[in-house]
């Protein structure tokens, strides 16, 4: 009787083809099983005998992890691992892996697109023209980008890529808030490190690029909106819960800030009665910042490559809990 194949379960699907994953797993003789899990109980059942788990959005919590008998690695499509109980996996000696850097160009492109859409009011103008309006500049003023102050909340790889792309726009100043990046390093990039309050008060455009943690949950709320200029534009392509959704709605509805470009929500997807849907000074997209044909291929390949490496007795390309490797 031949050796039993290793089993790798994808907890929830979302891509047209899984050939990239299959190609990565073939060399370790692993069978790929596609599941459609939306609850932790479904994850527990599907992954009970899996040697490796790949997850997208399904909740891989402590209960599901406790039920895993053979699992050596949980690899997530993406950078964040919000849906994985990393502590529970670590306690059980299971590696948690992610994919870093695959969409820096794409998210920064998207942040720039949202920013320019808000600055030039292209979405609003499109609707106005279709409705028969013309020459609405006096009632809907626009200010140029050159000379304005950009504030980056978080100065990791995506924020740095966005900063590079904005280099030709002749900004007046770029401010950065990030407790984990030194003022010296920001200064080398032409960014002045400041505290969050100063950034909010001085910036014309604010783009959020921070991770979601207990410390950053609702880092932008009513108090923070009160500090912003009435002409300020807020862009969020990071995580929805970084911004208090009720405070955002009130700031936009009341004119406390000029406009916003939002790609991420709390919750996701937003409910059909989401109050932002009724506003015309916000540009909304469907958590699409990460996406391009190139980034998706890299994401699928690398997520599966993490699993293949671990099943072959090697460390993954990207490990969230390196203490289990010791």
Catalytic site residue from 63, 268, 271, 294: 268
Catalytic site residue from 100, 287, 294, 323: 287
Q: Is there a contact between 187 and 161 (Cβ–Cβ < 8 Å)?
A: no
DSSP 126-181: HHHHHTT----GGGS----STT-EEEEES-SHHHHHHHHHGGGG--SEEEEE-TTS
Q: Is there a contact between 234 and 206 (Cβ–Cβ < 8 Å)?
A: yes
Cβ neighbors of 163 (< 8 A, separation 6 or more) are 150, 152, 174, 189, 190, 191
Q: Is there a contact between 280 and 124 (Cβ–Cβ < 8 Å)?
A: yes
Give the pairing type, strands 205-208 and 192-193.
Answer: unpaired
**Residue whose structure tokens are 């932002």:** 276
List of long-range contacts for 186-191, beta carbons under 8 Å, 24+ apart: 186/155, 189/160, 189/163, 190/163, 191/152, 191/155, 191/163
Task: Return the DSSP state at 94.
Answer: -
Catalytic site residue from 40, 239, 256, 294: 239
Measure the CA–CA gap between 34 and 161, rounded to whole angstroms: 35
Nearest to 291 by CA among 28, 158, 103, 114: 103
Q: Count the residues in the chain.
A: 326
Distance of CA 79 to the CA centre of its chain: 7
Q: Is residue 239 annotated as part of the catalytic site, yes or no?
A: yes
Q: Is there a contact between 31 and 50 (Cβ–Cβ < 8 Å)?
A: no
Q: Is residue 268 annotated as part of the catalytic site, yes or no?
A: yes
CB burial class (10 A; 0-12, 13-18, 19+) of residue 14? exposed
The catalytic residues are 239, 268, 287
């Amino acid at each position: 009787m031949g050796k039993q194949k290793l089993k790798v379960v994808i907890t929830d699907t979302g891509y047209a083809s899984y050939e990239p994953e299959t190609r990565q797993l073939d060399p370790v003789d692993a069978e790929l099983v596609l599941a459609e899990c939306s609850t932790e109980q479904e994850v527990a059942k599907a992954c009970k005998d899996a040697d490796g788990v790949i997850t997208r959005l399904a909740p891989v919590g402590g209960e599901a992890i406790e039920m895993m008998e053979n699992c050596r690695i949980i690899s997530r499509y993406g950078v964040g691992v919000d849906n994985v109980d990393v502590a529970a996996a670590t306690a059980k000696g299971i590696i948690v892996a992610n994919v870093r850097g695959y969409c820096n160009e794409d998210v920064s492109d998207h942040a720039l697109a949202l920013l320019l859409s808000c600055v030039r009011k292209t979405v609003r103008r499109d609707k106005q023209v279709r409705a028969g309006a013309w020459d609405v500049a006096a009632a809907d003023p626009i200010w140029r980008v050159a000379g304005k102050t950009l504030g980056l909340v978080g100065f990791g790889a995506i924020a740095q890529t966005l900063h590079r792309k904005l280099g030709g726009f002749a900004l007046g100043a770029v401010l950065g808030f990030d407790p984990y990046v030194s003022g010296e390093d920001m200064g080398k990039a032409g960014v002045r490190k400041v505290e969050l309050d100063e950034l909010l008060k001085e910036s014309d455009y604010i783009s959020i690029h921070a991770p979601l943690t207990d410390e950053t949950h609702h880092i932008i709320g009513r108090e923070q909106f009160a500090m912003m200029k009435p002409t300020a534009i807020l862009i969020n392509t990071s995580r929805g819960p970084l911004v208090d959704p009720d405070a955002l709605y009130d700031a936009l509805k009341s004119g406390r800030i000029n406009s916003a470009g939002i790609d991420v929500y709390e919750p996701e997807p937003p409910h059909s009665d989401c109050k932002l849907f009724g506003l015309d000074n916000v540009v909304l997209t469907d958590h699409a910042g990460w996406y391009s044909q190139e980034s998706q291929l890299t994401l699928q390949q690398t997520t599966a490559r993490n699993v293949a490496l671990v099943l072959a007795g090697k460390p993954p390309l990207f490990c969230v809990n390196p203490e289990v490797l010791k």
